[in-house]
Amino acid sequence: EVQLVESGGGFVQPGGSLRLSCAASGFTFSAYEMNWLRQTPGEGLEWVSYINSGDATTYYSDSVKGRFTTSRDNAKNSLYLQMNSLRVEDTAVYYCATKVYGTTYFDYWGQGALVTVSS
């Protein structure tokens, strides 16, 4: 059974940093492209970042580019999202999700991690 479990969410002040982790199991993690997405009541679902399964090429949405960094450790079956210079508008539930190479949809999602940025 595919399982994705996010951790590391919490409360942080504007300008602060937080690191999310996503522990994967039940599938060959190294073979999958991985993504971070986030959801807010006001803005809905938003794609945040992507990392491929091969050379760890990454892409980011304009809203987080330069502030967030996605990485993966295939030996640990883990995905990470380092979030720096956090803003109030980054407040959201963050999901990690799988994507097969060549497809444009997200097969499996984790249960989400809440990040709250507030003073």
- Residue numbers at the binding site for other proteins (CB under 8 A): 44-47, 50, 59, 61-62, 95, 103-112
CB of 111 to other proteins, least distance (A): 5
Nearer to other proteins, 111 or 118 (CB): 111
Q: How far apart, in whole angstroms, are the C-alpha atoms of residue 65 and residue 2?
A: 29
- For the CA atoms of 60, 52, 32, 111, the dihedral, rounded to the nearest 10 degrees, stands at -20
7, 13 Cβ separation under 8 angstroms? no
CB of 96 to other proteins, least distance (A): 10
CB of 103 to other proteins, least distance (A): 7
